[in-house]
Amino acid sequence: MEKLNNIYAKKSGNALGGEIDYKALDDKFAARTYNRFPLVISGGRGSILFDDKGKEYIDLGGGIAVNTFGIADPEWAEEVTKQLNLIQHASNLYYTKPAAELARLICEKTGLCRVFFSNSGAEANECGVKAARKYSTDKYGAERHKIITLKNSFHGRTLAMIAATGQEVFHKDFLPVMPGFEYSPADDIDFIKRACSGGSVAAVMVEAVQGEGGVEPLGEEFLRELRDFTEQNDILLIADEVQCGNGRTGRLFGYMNYGITPDIVTTAKGLAGGLPLGATIFGEKTKDTLTPGSHGSTFGGNPVCAAGAINILSRLDEKTLEGVREKSRFLVESLRGAAGVTGVSGLGLMLGISVNGDTDKIISDCIQKGVLPIKAKNKIRLLPALNIPDTLLEKAVAALKKAIAENQKT
């Protein structure tokens, strides 16, 4: 212990022999899976984050669309701690109140029929794909098992979900890629129709707004046509709403902007407002596909996470969603045409800014200025809390615009 503290301590003393440098500690002992920004986040309130030196930042990343109503939202924190003091975990051998209530709430709000709970987006998608394969196998035999996903999609990091992800960069180094997935260009309905013509396709999985792929909403006509085509051919449509769900786009789920209803909806990220919870939501066709023993999760539906999600979902009413759309309009109007901005994509509070400049440099500059946006491909991505106060948003956008303007390539 003493030695550690000596290695990672800085001069300014405390009882342990120095102030611990957590960045150095993490860099040495944590697996090197992340390129982190050089900030140690130690707390926050609402849309303000503090680092370990006490510097304040306006948060435009929301923990990657997770902290739906910001940090330590009082109403949410109260519901979560109340549940924590009742029981933190019961296992899926028993019923619990929060999981049952949350399942009902999700079905009421979507018009879908049943929910399976897991802990993450990748798991929610795994469950969706398993259910799609089983639906198709039960009805047509195991040959009809293929899942079509889109190029540039992102569906998670498990072996099956990197196979589902239509980006080679996620496959390399982990070969062989699990079979059974085929990738279509986004917005190319003819490609999908051709791929389905052999009778081997069970489902098509799409993000209404591709997040990691660069904050790109699907074309309206494409998604409507895709829904009609899949419906007519009893091919399931799975909406991966892990990032674009839970109010993010100004509707409860991203697909709702398109006036369609998928057969299976998967979500996670913002669902429980900062606690790990995934959900796979089944429509009429697939509601009884999974049967006892065909799927499960030890932590899935954890009562503390479910209590958090009940609070979040019950607050995503029309008024809150209109607020999201209003804040979005403000952002888009301030950014479009600003110096160095070449485009703004996305929906609601899920926006991507194309810039004439180096995104990394712009983000570093923003950090200096006390504002924390994130990246998606080569765009600057904004995923702030859905209730970020307008005054903070105005301040953050002014700093962001300044950083973009000052870092323009000439």
Ligand X SMILES: *Cc1c(COP(=O)(O)O)cnc(C)c1O
Q: How far is the CB of 157 from ligand X (least distance, A)?
A: 6
Using CB atoms, what's the residue nearest to ligand X? Answer: 121
Q: How far is the CB of 343 from ligand X (least distance, A)?
A: 21
Give the footprint of ligand X on this chain (CB under 6 A). 120-122, 125, 154-156, 207, 211-212, 240, 242-243, 268-269
Q: How far is the CB of 112 from ligand X (least distance, A)?
A: 18
257 vs 407, beta carbon nearer ligand X: 257
Strands 236-240 and 48-51: unpaired
118 vs 407, beta carbon nearer ligand X: 118
Look at residue 83 and give its three-state secondary structure.
Answer: helix
Question: How far is Cα 62 from Cα 243, in angstroms, rounded to an integer?
Answer: 11
70 vs 278, beta carbon nearer ligand X: 278
118 vs 387, beta carbon nearer ligand X: 118
- In the DSSP assignment, the letter for residue 255 is G
Q: How far is the CB of 168 from ligand X (least distance, A)?
A: 17
Q: Among all chains, which residue has been given the structure tokens 């550690």?
A: 4
Nearest to 83 by CA among 306, 278, 268: 306
CA 291 to chain centre: 27
Q: How far is the CB of 241 from ligand X (least distance, A)?
A: 8
Q: How far is the CB of 301 from ligand X (least distance, A)?
A: 16
121 vs 214, beta carbon nearer ligand X: 121
How many CA within 13 A on the CB side of residue 288?
1
Cβ atoms of residues 40 and 23 within 8 Å: yes
Q: How far is the CB of 153 from ligand X (least distance, A)?
A: 7
CA distances from 187 to 46, 193, 263, 328 (A): 37, 12, 19, 24
CA distances from 228 to 48, 133, 187, 189, 351 (A): 44, 20, 14, 11, 28
The number of residues in the chain equals 410
156 vs 214, beta carbon nearer ligand X: 156
- In the DSSP assignment, the letter for residue 177 is P
275 vs 399, beta carbon nearer ligand X: 275
